[in-house]
Amino acid sequence: MKKLWNNKNHDQIFEFCEEYKDFISQNKTERECVISIREMAKKEGYKDLKEIINSATPLKAGDKVYATNLDKCIFLFKIGSRPISDGMRILGAHIDSPRLDLKPNPLYEDGPSKIALFDTHYYGGIKKYQWTALPLAIHGIVCKKDGSTININIGEEAQDPVFCITDLLPHLDRDNSRAAENKINGENLNVIVGGIPVDEKTEKPVKKAILNILKTKNIEEDDFISAEIEVVPAGKARDMGLDRSFILGYGQDDRICAYTSLKAMFDSDENQFTLAGMFVDKEEVGSQGASGMQSLFFEDMVAEIANLMGETSPLSVRRALRNSFMLSSDVTAGFDPNYASAFDANNDAFLGKGISFNKYTGSRGKSGANDASPEYIAKIREILDKNEINYQLTEMGKIDQGGGGTIAYITANYGMNVIDCGCPLLNMHAPWEISSKTDIYDAYRCYKAFLSIKD
Ligand code: MN
Ligand code: MN
């Protein structure tokens, strides 16, 4: 643990964070992240692995490829000069964030109030009351039966309307006080979408009027069945504090690590080991599903790449995975002065003290934890110190206070070395999360240095 702010890099830190703020402001769903990452990768010379497989083009050192699954996760590879069976250098982050999803039949009108609302089903670990009484945006995709798709993004531009979930006024909520979490349940999270009726005679006249508006965008009520629409906080990420040392933004868990990993991969000049960048979905709900880390998609892509590199034995894939070094890049809880009793000040992460490593995550007696080996940690310390990168070795809160998981335990199943490492946040999983700019830059520098780690 070294100095709080590295003033030597002050200008670079602020400059880097401007682009980071743009990234998280423009990419608020996993799909939007995949599309942006793919476009950025293409500009860096990455090619679609699918096309390379189809044309059976051999891969050689220096080649760069990407593989997308369901447009909800994306993997980047930069081929090294050594055989892939020697292992890869892997940065893995997730691009899904807690939010509210529209239910399959979302639109309804409340009888007495004549207000039209969208019914939602929350995704990930949220404190439900935090999602009330703030401006919300709607992002997503509607898939039509004819195969066409309609992209939705409403609430981000200054002239756009926004949406809101109500909370009860304090005047009528005398027994509320601090029991907010118990008062607002998942079924209360209904988003107001309209209040003007078509006419007096029609049944459910406000719902009808909303359906008319949707029709002008080629969306029928039934189309919600084949849609994926997410309700997220409206507005851009912003500098926070008089000194602008912090960033307040949505989805920093875990796009803060995704963006810094991506930039590190683009800027790395490592050419011996094959580099891999993982940007996966579903971490917030357990990493299942075709686009989550538990899917075999990553392993399959490694097999395809090994094959195109001329390593055709199935053993190469096993060796490539087993011999890899990985950073499971995910955020952790920053010590919060307002809730100090939840933390162990000697062992928790502080904002501004650099990138944070968790030897183990999990809960209770480390249940569900990946446990990084001290040999591996020593190797990482060496490279971080050599590059003068600020870092901290931390836990996540006091013992038995709670806990959490990442994707580390999944890739650890291959026998590879992996450790959790990311920026500490305040307000984690709240609609607006807080990060420290200096940690973001340390994360970028840490990931870049890590990619050049040798055997
Ligand atoms: Mn996370
Ligand atoms: Mn999370």
For residue 1, the SS3 value is: coil
Give the distance between the most distant pair of CA atoms in the chain.
76
Q: Confidence class of residue 177 from pLDDT cuts 50, 70 and 90?
A: low
Dihedral-angle region of residue 366 (phi above 0 means left; psi in -120 to 50 means alpha; beta otherwise): left
Given a contact cutoff of 8 angstroms between Cβ atoms, the answer to whether 408 and 420 are in contact is yes
Q: Confidence class of residue 213 from pLDDT cuts 50, 70 and 90?
A: very high
Q: Is 244 a member of any domain?
A: no
The CATH number of the domain holding residue 201 is 2.30.250.10
Q: What is the pLDDT of residue 418?
A: 97
81, two tokens:
């000069």
Q: Is 245 a member of any domain?
A: no
Q: Is residue 425 pLDDT above 50, yes or no?
A: yes
Same-domain status, 78 and 221:
no
Number of domains within the chain: 2
- The alpha carbon of 39 and the centre of ligand 2 are apart by a number of angstroms equal to 25
Same-domain status, 176 and 224:
yes
Mean pLDDT of all residues in 315-320: 97
Contacts 24+ apart (CB under 8 A), 267-272: 267/448, 268/78, 268/448, 268/451, 268/452, 269/452, 270/78, 270/80, 270/89, 270/451, 270/452, 271/61, 271/62, 271/80, 271/81, 272/80, 272/81, 272/82, 272/454
Q: Confidence class of residue 209 from pLDDT cuts 50, 70 and 90?
A: very high
Q: Is 185 a member of any domain?
A: yes
Contacting residues for 234 by C-beta, under 8 A, at least 6 apart: 135, 136, 137, 155, 156, 160, 162, 163
Residue 436 to residue 407: CA distance in whole angstroms: 23
Q: Is 291 a member of any domain?
A: yes
Q: What is the pLDDT of residue 178?
A: 52
Of 362, 373, 358, 284, whose CA–CA distance to 328 is shortest?
A: 358
- The alpha carbon of 98 and the centre of ligand 2 are apart by a number of angstroms equal to 7
Ligand approaching nearest to the C-alpha of 408: 1
Q: What totals of helices (H) and strands (E) does the chain contain, helices first?
A: 11, 22
Q: Is 428 a member of any domain?
A: yes
Complete DSSP assignment for 119-182: EEEEESS--GGGGSSS-EEEEEEEE-TTS-EEEEEES-STTS--BB-----GGG-TTTTT-HHH
pTM: predicted TM-score of the whole model, two decimal places: 0.96
Given a contact cutoff of 8 angstroms between Cβ atoms, the answer to whether 448 and 264 are in contact is yes
Q: What is the pLDDT of residue 35?
A: 98
Same-domain status, 103 and 92:
no
DSSP secondary structure code for residue 183 in this structure = H
- The alpha carbon of 304 and the centre of ligand 2 are apart by a number of angstroms equal to 31
Q: What is the pLDDT of residues 26-59, one digit of tens each?
A: 999 999 999 999 999 999 999 999 999 999 999 9
Which has more pLDDT, 182 or 255?
A: 255
Same-domain status, 331 and 262:
yes
Mean pLDDT of all residues in 92-96: 98
Q: What is the pLDDT of residues 132-164, one digit of tens each?
A: 999 999 999 999 999 999 999 999 999 999 999
Q: What sign does the CA torsion over 118, 123, 127, 131 have?
A: negative
The angle, 0 to 180 degrees and rounded to 10, between the axes of the packed helices 30-43 and 252-267 is 10
Same-domain status, 225 and 103:
yes
Mean pLDDT of all residues in 241-267: 98
Q: What is the pLDDT of residue 1?
A: 47
- The alpha carbon of 257 and the centre of ligand 1 are apart by a number of angstroms equal to 9
Residue 341 to residue 353: CA distance in whole angstroms: 20
Of 432, 338, 363, 408, whose CA–CA distance to 131 is shortest?
A: 432
- The alpha carbon of 95 and the centre of ligand 1 are apart by a number of angstroms equal to 8
Ligand approaching nearest to the C-alpha of 95: 1
Q: Is residue 447 pLDDT above 60, yes or no?
A: yes
Ligand approaching nearest to the C-alpha of 358: 1
Q: Is 241 a member of any domain?
A: no
Which domain-ending residue is among 233, 267, 293? 233
Which domain-ending residue is among 203, 233, 263? 233
Q: Confidence class of residue 180 from pLDDT cuts 50, 70 and 90?
A: low
- The alpha carbon of 121 and the centre of ligand 1 are apart by a number of angstroms equal to 20
Q: What is the pLDDT of residue 349?
A: 96
Same-domain status, 93 and 146:
no
Ligand approaching nearest to the C-alpha of 331: 1
Q: What is the pLDDT of residue 151?
A: 97
Same-domain status, 207 and 256:
no
Ligand approaching nearest to the C-alpha of 124: 2
Which domain-ending residue is among 233, 258, 279? 233
Mean pLDDT of all residues in 331-343: 96
Given a contact cutoff of 8 angstroms between Cβ atoms, the answer to whether 279 and 74 are in contact is yes
Q: Is 72 a member of any domain?
A: yes
For residue 381, the SS3 value is: helix
Same-domain status, 303 and 391:
yes
Mean pLDDT of all residues in 394-400: 91
Same-domain status, 423 and 443:
yes
% of the chain at pLDDT higher than 90:
88
Q: What is the pLDDT of residue 184?
A: 85
Mean pLDDT of all residues in 415-439: 97
Same-domain status, 300 and 322:
yes
Q: What is the pLDDT of residue 179?
A: 62
- The alpha carbon of 349 and the centre of ligand 2 are apart by a number of angstroms equal to 16
- The alpha carbon of 362 and the centre of ligand 1 are apart by a number of angstroms equal to 13
Structural domain boundaries enclosing 433: 10-97+250-450
The CATH number of the domain holding residue 380 is 3.40.630.10
Same-domain status, 397 and 331:
yes
Q: Is residue 415 pLDDT above 90, yes or no?
A: yes
Ligand approaching nearest to the C-alpha of 254: 1
Q: What is the pLDDT of residue 2?
A: 55
Q: Is 331 a member of any domain?
A: yes
- The alpha carbon of 329 and the centre of ligand 1 are apart by a number of angstroms equal to 8
- The alpha carbon of 406 and the centre of ligand 2 are apart by a number of angstroms equal to 8
DSSP secondary structure code for residue 340 in this structure = G
- The alpha carbon of 270 and the centre of ligand 2 are apart by a number of angstroms equal to 30
- The alpha carbon of 428 and the centre of ligand 1 are apart by a number of angstroms equal to 9
Mean pLDDT of all residues in 301-321: 97
Same-domain status, 322 and 365:
yes
- The alpha carbon of 449 and the centre of ligand 1 are apart by a number of angstroms equal to 22
Ligand approaching nearest to the C-alpha of 427: 2
Q: What is the pLDDT of residue 297?
A: 97
- The alpha carbon of 69 and the centre of ligand 2 are apart by a number of angstroms equal to 21
- The alpha carbon of 175 and the centre of ligand 2 are apart by a number of angstroms equal to 31
